[in-house]
Amino acid sequence: MDSRDEAETVQTSIIRSTGFWAPPDVITNAELVASYNAYAKRFNEEHADAIAAGDVPEVPFSSTDFIANASGIERRHVLEKSGILDIDHLVPRIPPRGFDDISVQAEFAMRAVKPALEKAGRDGSEIDGVIVASSAQQRNFPGLSCEIQNLIGATGWSFDLTMACASALYGLNIANAMIRSGQAKRILVCSPEIMTCINVHSRRDVHFIFGDAASAILVEADDGTPGGWDVLGTHTQNKFSNHLRSDYGFINIAERTVDPDYTPGLDQDGHKVFKDVVSFAPVVARDLMAQIGLEPEAVHRAWLHQANIRMVDMIAKRILGRDRTLENAPSILEEYGNTSSSSVVMNFEKNSEDMKPGETGIMCAYGAGYGVGAAAIRKR
């Protein structure tokens, strides 16, 4: 809530704590390739005549070398392994739940929310607002954020937002604005990313890219309590592109009245996405740095979204103005794959404890849209 009559002071924001969770089920590249290739072999055998006639394209085989070279990913944590590897499905097995049960994605989010609240010593009832910021939410309504608000015992507001792999930093940006405007004092930004339900595991060019993980960021008005990270500034920018697209959504039912076989996929022109994002993302981060007077050499570390190791190399170098090292731009890609917007928060949490008070870092996430989010933070 805010008013034109209130005292015109600006609250500044801090990241009080973060949390993340990656499920225990792991799929290695070898396991994924074995499953995918079994699917491809069966498909090609079943469609041999049509393939020979040129009516159906042959499904190409995958390999662990191809995946490692294309992405740098070695394995990924997933919510449900058996369904993804089952060539009759290639999709996680998730039993539908009743209305009285916690929903799958809210439960997934809570695995990251609880540690974030615990680290901050906060009870959920102290939270003013809950933002679910993720690539997708599992239902139209009620809002997933509203369910999480209820689960933690908060009584304020909540809403869901999406901006693909940058969602978490869009949530942080909004939380920062709401705190600075005086609308709220404590906001939880949750990113439960169940990307293995969005991925198409029957397509060689994308079958390996995603893993599942959840993250949470507790953003608070600075009340003088020590600890946490000052939010020096946040910034987001978008440029429309169709080169990474997932058309799954509520109008598909209407589209199938016209084309009963219509099946939205996951469409990616990887080379174009690479080229576009490697150009665009560093500009957004550098714009933020310029506006707050932060020189590249003063940036101790960049926590980047994890999609592709060469992308991390190039974006890190352009943001930092120096070659990437494991210390100045760490990677968690090998272990988790692309976990959409939770990735940058996991990367931060796993690679920030060694930093000293006064040291500054840049979080930068980029993805479909295109949307790029950046945040400059300083250890307190």
User: Catalytic annotation on 190?
Assistant: no
Alpha-carbon distances, residue 378 vs 66, 154, 239, 356 (angstroms): 39, 28, 28, 9
The interface with its own copies within residues 45-84 (CB under 8 A) comprises 80, 83
Instruction: Choose between 5 and 55: whose C-beta lies nearer to its own copies.
Output: 5
- Cβ proximity of 294 and 361 under 8 Å: no
Instruction: Choose between 3 and 356: whose C-beta lies nearer to its own copies.
Output: 3
The CA-based angle 146-147-152, given to 5 degrees, is 100
- Cβ proximity of 120 and 17 under 8 Å: yes
Instruction: Choose between 62 and 135: whose C-beta lies nearer to its own copies.
Output: 135
- Please identify which of the residues 165, 190, 197, 364 carries the catalytic annotation: 165
Indicate whether 224 belongs to the interface with its own copies (CB under 8 A): no
- Cβ proximity of 128 and 181 under 8 Å: no
Q: Report in angstroms how near the CB of residue 110 gets to its own copies at its nearest.
A: 14
Indicate whether 288 belongs to the interface with its own copies (CB under 8 A): yes
Indicate whether 29 belongs to the interface with its own copies (CB under 8 A): no
- Maximum Cα–Cα distance across the chain: 76
Indicate whether 211 belongs to the interface with its own copies (CB under 8 A): no
The interface with its own copies within residues 77-136 (CB under 8 A) comprises 80, 83, 86, 89, 91-96, 99-100, 104-105, 135-136
Q: Report in angstroms how near the CB of residue 63 gets to its own copies at its nearest.
A: 26
Instruction: Choose between 135 and 331: whose C-beta lies nearer to its own copies.
Output: 135
Indicate whether 9 belongs to the interface with its own copies (CB under 8 A): yes
β-pair type (360-367, 299-304): parallel
Q: Report in angstroms how near the CB of residue 25 gets to its own copies at its nearest.
A: 14
CB atoms within 10 A of CB 224: 4
Residue/partner pairs of 194-198 with CB below 8 Å, 24 or more apart: 194/79, 194/92, 194/104, 194/105, 194/108, 194/138, 195/135, 195/338, 195/339, 195/340, 196/78, 196/79, 196/80, 196/84, 196/91, 196/92, 197/91, 197/92, 197/94, 198/135, 198/136, 198/246, 198/248, 198/266
Q: Report in angstroms how near the CB of residue 36 gets to its own copies at its nearest.
A: 17
Answer for which of 124, 160, 277, 336 binds its own copies (CB under 8 A) is 160
Q: Report in angstroms how near the CB of residue 271 gets to its own copies at its nearest.
A: 16
Site size for its own copies, by CB under 8 A? Answer: 100
Indicate whether 161 belongs to the interface with its own copies (CB under 8 A): yes
Indicate whether 235 belongs to the interface with its own copies (CB under 8 A): yes
Indicate whether 262 belongs to the interface with its own copies (CB under 8 A): yes
Instruction: Give 126's DSSP letter.
Output: G
Indicate whether 240 belongs to the interface with its own copies (CB under 8 A): yes
Q: Give me the active site residues, please.
A: 165
